[in-house]
């Protein structure tokens, strides 16, 4: 029993916490909210006075007395009610729209600042639903409270004391009605709020499935899975309805109980009033006034009940939105620990280990990575699929945080660097180019938003993209479509390379940047990349022999560990994994001639320093 009381108390605190959090979004416009409260109280007073004035008019008619001044006051109250109601209707609507967009802005900014691990664990569908539905609930709660329910709350608070001041016996019936409404609502809320949380989780799963299928619609069609995916979606819908119906049943029961209690309260007022009129203890006008009070109280309690029900029904959604806004990832550090970085390009991995962890289940990773790359060197990472190459470079960009060890850039631990400062020092070309549904110009400009149009076009020329761009309708203003699907794979890759060229960062990360290009285009782009990497520290995930030949040093990875390192000639002579990859043709063939040579014979840069990588 104590646990149940604690659970109900915690739920009540959570309810009011979320409600107040929604209202606090408008604290920047606190003067306007104060004006809303004042206007709502005036409207509430005007609506309460209407039954009182109506009762006085009835008494005047019964006694054949003058009652013109009551009619005039009634008209004045009605006019005041209309004016302030119009003000609340227009101003609160605009206010609620601003709060909705403010909530979306806060959630969006927090979401895109999260590390990659956050997105991989939560999924885009779940996050998008949280932002959209949460912001919609902020709008609904804000608008409904300030435009309607603040008036309803003010009416109840003012009406009950006023009724007791007029007649205690009739007021007692009204008070009993209010008590029944409150008790029934709280009972149903206690019975349904946990089930509503389950419903919201199922809705998030449905949205995640929808986004997942739509993103892979070509696969669905190619493997004739349309019917199968539709059946799976229908199954999720059935699960949602199965979880939702018990909640709806409780709210249906509540509606019946409150309607019956309203009818009983109204009959009680009429019965008590008739007895009082017959005994001469009350006038007909007073009975009319209390009937008006009961009608007004019932409508206001219905209104507040529906408002509370909506908040409770959507509380999981609103709670998820604020949890997202408040989310602090493990990689976030206090502002006073932020350091700035003006890198030369030296990169050090000191016994770095990381293992993927999804919902408590350990997966693959990298282990005891221990090496130093001097500024200006080009390092190729080679190994079978799943050997840890991409994970290694993801750790460098702080997409993930190491479980053990640390990563230094110019003797500064990257975990102490502001993320924007770190990422500003690294230019990346991903295997998936990652283009926005915007113009080609805007996609290249992502590399350096302050660049001029001439600089954007120069970067495109260096990436051998200018020719195909100008051939497109609108040239640089051509919109590439979602994920760049209006372009070919090679064109998308060259846009991504142009973006990295424009950024001109001291550290380059190339995840097989030329993988989608034909041999002739690759020669051009490889030449541009060679010029771009001059004097810069470059990490290349290599799947082609041409890329390996251009590297100063090669790190060979297997099962998350570095198993070989050295120049091309050194590794080719060793009877190791690299030699076996060459013999098996895993590195393909070179697309442009370049004589392999040891870094030591070139004498251009300091050799890569590789410490022992732990037990193999």
| Interval 119-158: pLDDT, tens | 666 767 778 888 888 899 899 999 999 988 898 888 888 8
d(C-alpha 346, C-alpha 536), whole Å = 10
Q: What is the pLDDT of residue 585?
A: 65
d(C-alpha 520, C-alpha 517), whole Å = 8
Q: Which two tokens stand for residue 509?
A: 């990360």
The answer to whether 195 and 11 have CB atoms below 8 angstroms apart is: no
d(C-alpha 174, C-alpha 538), whole Å = 78
Q: What is the mean pLDDT of residues 305-310?
A: 79
Q: What is the pLDDT of residue 341?
A: 60
pLDDT score of 360 more than 60: no
Confidence band, pLDDT 50/70/90 cuts, at residue 604: very low
Q: What is the pLDDT of residue 607?
A: 39
Q: What is the mean pLDDT of residues 308-317?
A: 78
Higher pLDDT: 48 or 36? It is 36
Q: Distance from first CA to last CA of the chain, Å, rounded?
A: 57
d(C-alpha 420, C-alpha 295), whole Å = 60
Q: What is the mean pLDDT of residues 4-20?
A: 65
Confidence band, pLDDT 50/70/90 cuts, at residue 590: very low
DSSP string, 359-377: TTEEEEEEEEEEEEE-TT-
Angle between helices 30-63 and 284-313 (to 10 degrees): 150
**CA atoms lying within 13 Å on the CB side of residue 548:** 27
Q: What is the mean pLDDT of residues 554-578?
A: 87
pLDDT score of 8 more than 60: no
Q: Which two tokens stand for residue 455?
A: 């600089």
pLDDT digits (tens, 9 = 90+) for 288-304: 777 777 778 777 877 88
- Apex CA 591: angle with CA 585 and CA 595, to 5°? 90
Confidence band, pLDDT 50/70/90 cuts, at residue 100: very high
The answer to whether 226 and 195 have CB atoms below 8 angstroms apart is: no
Q: Which two tokens stand for residue 226?
A: 């349309």
Hey, what domains does the chain have and what are their CATH numbers? 97-326 (1.20.1560.10), 336-425+506-603 (3.40.50.300), 435-504 (3.40.50.300)
DSSP H or E segment with residue 611: none
Q: Which residue has the tokens 């007791």?
A: 164
The answer to whether 47 and 292 have CB atoms below 8 angstroms apart is: no
Q: What is the mean pLDDT of residues 180-188?
A: 76
Confidence band, pLDDT 50/70/90 cuts, at residue 73: confident
Nearest by Cα to 469 from 441, 447, 445: 441
Q: Is residue 232 helix, strand or coil?
A: helix
Q: Which two tokens stand for residue 152?
A: 């309803």
pLDDT score of 504 more than 60: yes
pLDDT score of 339 more than 60: no
Exposed/middle/buried for residue 284 (C-beta within 10 Å: 0-12, 13-18, 19+)? middle
Q: What is the pLDDT of residue 10?
A: 63
Alpha-helix runs per DSSP H in 64-146:
68-112, 116-122, 124-144
Average pLDDT taken over every residue of the chain: 78
The torsion angle over the Cα atoms of residues 95, 97, 99 and 104, rounded to 10 degrees, is -170
Residues in the chain: 616
- How many Cβ atoms from other residues are within 10 Å of residue 215's Cβ? 13
Q: What is the pLDDT of residue 36?
A: 92
Q: What is the mean pLDDT of residues 359-363?
A: 58
Q: What is the mean pLDDT of residues 158-177?
A: 78
Contacts of 433 (CB under 8 A, 6+ apart): 484, 492, 493, 495, 496
Higher pLDDT: 278 or 92? It is 92
What proportions of the chain, in percent to the nearest 5, are helix, strand and coil? 65, 10, 25
Q: What is the pLDDT of residue 612?
A: 41
Q: What are phi and psi of 541, to 5 degrees?
A: -85, 115
Q: Which residue has the tokens 């003012």?
A: 158
């Amino acid at each position: 029993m104590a646990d149940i009381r604690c659970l109900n108390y915690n739920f009540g605190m959570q309810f009011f916490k979320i409600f107040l959090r929604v209202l606090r979004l408008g604290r920047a416009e606190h003067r306007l909210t104060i004006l809303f409260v004042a206007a709502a109280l005036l409207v509430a007073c005007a609506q309460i006075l209407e039954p009182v004035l109506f009762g006085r008019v009835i008494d005047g008619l019964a006694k054949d007395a003058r009652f013109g001044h009551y009619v005039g006051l009634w008209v004045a109250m009605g006019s005041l009610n209309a004016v302030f109601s119009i003000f609340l209707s227009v101003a609160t609507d605009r206010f609620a729209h601003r709060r909705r967009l403010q909530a979306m802005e806060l959630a969006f900014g927090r979401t895109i600042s999260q590390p990659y691990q956050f997105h991989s664990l939560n999924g885009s569908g779940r996050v998008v639903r949280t932002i959209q539905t949460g912001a919609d609930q902020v709008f609904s709660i804000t608008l409904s409270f300030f435009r309607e329910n603040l008036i309803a709350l003010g009416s109840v608070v003012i009406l009950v004391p006023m009724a007791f001041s007029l007649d205690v016996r009739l007021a007692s019936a009204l008070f009993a009605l209010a008590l029944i409404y409150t008790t029934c609502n709280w009972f149903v809320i206690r019975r349904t709020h946990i089930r509503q949380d389950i419903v919201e989780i199922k809705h998030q799963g449905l949205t995640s499935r929808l986004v997942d299928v739509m993103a892979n619609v070509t696969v669905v069609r190619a493997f004739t899975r349309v019917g199968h995916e539709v059946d799976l979606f229908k199954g999720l819908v059935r699960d949602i309805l199965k979880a939702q119906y018990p909640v709806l049943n409780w709210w249906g029961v509540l509606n019946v109980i409150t309607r019956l209690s309203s009818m009983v309260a109204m009959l009680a007022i009429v019965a008590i009033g008739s007895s009082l009129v017959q005994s001469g203890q009350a006038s007909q006008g007073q009975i009319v006034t209390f009937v008006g009070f009961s009608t007004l109280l019932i409508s206001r309690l219905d209104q507040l009940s529906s408002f509370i029900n909506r908040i409770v029904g959507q509380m999981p959604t609103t709670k998820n939105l604020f949890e997202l806004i408040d989310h602090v990832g493990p990689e976030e550090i206090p502002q006073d620990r932020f350091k700035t970085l003006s890198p030369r390009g030296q990169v050090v991995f000191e016994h770095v280990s990381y293992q993927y962890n999804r919902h408590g289940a350990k997966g693959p990773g990298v282990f005891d990575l221990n090496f130093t790359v001097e500024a200006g060197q080009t390092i190729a990472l080679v190994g079978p699929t799943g050997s840890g190459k991409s994970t290694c470079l993801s750790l460098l960009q702080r997409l993930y945080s190491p479980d053990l060890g640390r990563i230094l850039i110019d003797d500064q631990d990257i975990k102490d660097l502001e993320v924007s400062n770190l990422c500003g020092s690294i230019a990346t070309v991903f295997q998936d180019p990652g283009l926005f549904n915007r113009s080609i110009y805007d996609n290249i400009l992502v590399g350096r938003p302050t660049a001029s149009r001439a600089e954007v076009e120069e970067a495109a020329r260096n990436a051998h993209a200018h020719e195909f761009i100008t051939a497109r309708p609108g040239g640089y203003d051509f919109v590439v479509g979602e994920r760049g699907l209006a372009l070919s794979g090679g064109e998308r890759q060259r846009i991504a390379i142009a973006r990295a060229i424009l950024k001109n960062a001291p550290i380059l990360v190339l995840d097989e940047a030329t993988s989608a290009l034909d041999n002739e285009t690759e020669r051009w782009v490889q030449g541009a990349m060679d010029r771009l990497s001059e004097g810069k520290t470059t990490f290349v995930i290599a799947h082609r022999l041409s890329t390996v030949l251009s590297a100063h040093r090669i790190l060979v990875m297997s099962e998350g560990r570095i198993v070989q390192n050295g120049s091309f000639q050194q590794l080719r002579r060793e009877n190791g994994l690299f030699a076996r990859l060459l013999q098996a043709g895993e590195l393909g063939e070179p697309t442009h001639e370049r004589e392999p040579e040891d870094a030591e014979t070139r004498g251009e840069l300091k050799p890569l320093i590789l410490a022992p990588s732990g037990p193999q």
